[in-house]
Amino acid sequence: MPRLPRVHIEGSAYYVTCKGLQNQVIFKDKRDYEMYFGLLKKYKEQYNVKLYAYTLMHNHLHLLMEVDDKTSISTLMHDLSSSYTKYFNGRYQRKGHLFRERFKAALIEKDPLLLLNLSAYIHLNPKRLNLAIQARTYPHSSYALYLDYLQQNDRGLNIKSEVDGIVNQLLGENYADFVSRMADNEEFLKTHKKLRKGMVGSKEFIKKVKSEIEKQRAQAQVEETPTPVNSENDADGKKKLLIGVGTALMLVTLSVSGVYVYFNYMRNETKQTSEPVVQAPGVVQEEEKRLNDTVWQITLMTLDGKLFRNDHISFIKGKFISAYFSRLDFPQINYSVVVDGDKIIWETMQRSSQGKLSWRGEVKNGQMNGIINLRENGKQPQDFSFKSFKYRRR
């Protein structure tokens, strides 16, 4: 499944896969599986999710589910994966990421027959990978619920209505017979190829999804164009920067040590008391070349000096990306560069279904520091400072 922008189409579902980092094992025993099911139940209820089918395997998982228009699939999967990672790391005394940086999700038209086919595809995965002699006997999938719901334990996930809605499409045919029949269906065996395209459904549905993606990209391109940077020094030797981003300006005070003290948000009509940086022709292009194709390891700190996490950010082929925030669905994006004496100043804004993320950094003598403003939908804004501790050129 490709990395398409996350869009939400009313009346659609998601086919989600998560894999362990470098294909490492993410479920070692029954306790691990049960912990994930417990977290899945928690967030299913919290975010009002409909769960149609699932399969957990030793190094990856498959989920077929639906979220409402108030829920972001990225928020759901981030919370689910983060909570399980904390459990797993604590139990096995390890650190760092457990899952690959970004889960994969295909947008699915919520057609009952299509959901029926995809449930069979999910349930056949353990047999396909030789984890079970018969798919129906695999203990960590929803297959058994499709065979005889009333006699099976669904781990408190309460998906009876979802299962019934799918099984009813069989018009009396036994579900196991249907799955067996589909396993020999040549067209069905191409399901994985369809999922890789990131959207599955009728021509009308695909057209609607593509239209929404283009609309989102066009909107993001308009909002992510940063305005020039202005600067001035105050009597205390601190530098004040007026950073224009979208329809707002941020007044940021930097101490001599590079720690960012506070943000004030003002409208565009605020008067600017300093002149923009004047650059000779061609200077920005040369500085972009110096920053391009570099990867920086950084430490993120809250503004009160507490460690938040480590991250690495990349400037590759004119695009900026953060390894950590890409998990929250913030895409790679263009960035702007200006020169202020012996410093390279860069900034960008990322937008996703999660909200907005503004970056600004300074590079001097091979060191980088900067600020981040994160505005997630429905949450309080968060401000961070960051500082590099290592970088390399690709």
Give domain limits for the chain: 12-219, 278-393
Q: How confident is the model over 121-136, as pLDDT tens digits?
A: 999 999 999 999 999 9
Report pLDDT for 206: 83
User: Which amino acid makes up residue 313?
Assistant: I
CA-angle at 196, arms to 195 and 201, nearest 5°: 35
The answer to whether residue 255 scores a pLDDT higher than 50 is: no
Report pLDDT for 210: 83
Could you give phi then psi for residue 34, rounded to 5 degrees? -65, -35
> Could you give the CA distance from residue 322 to residue 96 in angstroms, rounded to a whole number?
16
Q: How confident is the model over 201-220, as pLDDT tens digits?
A: 888 888 887 877 777 666 65
Report pLDDT for 376: 86
Q: How confident is the model over 66-85, as pLDDT tens digits?
A: 998 888 888 899 899 999 99
> Could you give the CA distance from residue 361 to residue 368 in angstroms, rounded to a whole number?
7
Pick the closest to residue 366 from 345, 391, 342 (CA basis).
391
> Could you give the CA distance from residue 283 to residue 286 in angstroms, rounded to a whole number?
5
> Could you give the CA distance from residue 221 to residue 242 in angstroms, rounded to a whole number?
21
**Mean pLDDT of all residues in 343-358:** 88
The answer to whether residue 291 scores a pLDDT higher than 90 is: no
Report pLDDT for 101: 67
The answer to whether residue 59 scores a pLDDT higher than 90 is: yes
Could you give phi then psi for residue 110, rounded to 5 degrees? -85, 65
The predicted model scores a pTM of 0.57
Confidence class of residue 262 from pLDDT cuts 50, 70 and 90? Answer: very low
CA-angle at 104, arms to 322 and 75, nearest 5°: 65
Confidence class of residue 8 from pLDDT cuts 50, 70 and 90? Answer: low
**Mean pLDDT of all residues in 27-54:** 95
The answer to whether residue 45 scores a pLDDT higher than 90 is: yes
> Could you give the CA distance from residue 13 to residue 51 in angstroms, rounded to a whole number?
9
- What fold characterizes domain 12-219? Alpha-Beta Plaits (3.30.70)
**Mean pLDDT of all residues in 293-302:** 90
**Mean pLDDT of all residues in 245-250:** 36
Report pLDDT for 216: 67
The answer to whether residue 175 scores a pLDDT higher than 60 is: yes
Q: How much of the chain exceeds pLDDT 90, in percent?
A: 36
**Mean pLDDT of all residues in 351-377:** 89
Confidence class of residue 353 from pLDDT cuts 50, 70 and 90? Answer: confident
Report pLDDT for 238: 42
The answer to whether residue 226 scores a pLDDT higher than 60 is: no
The answer to whether residue 268 scores a pLDDT higher than 50 is: no
The answer to whether residue 252 scores a pLDDT higher than 80 is: no
The answer to whether residue 271 scores a pLDDT higher than 50 is: no
> Could you give the CA distance from residue 108 to residue 1 in angstroms, rounded to a whole number?
12
Q: Which CATH class is domain 278-393?
A: mainly beta
Q: Which residue has the higher pLDDT, 225 or 159?
A: 159
The answer to whether residue 245 scores a pLDDT higher than 70 is: no
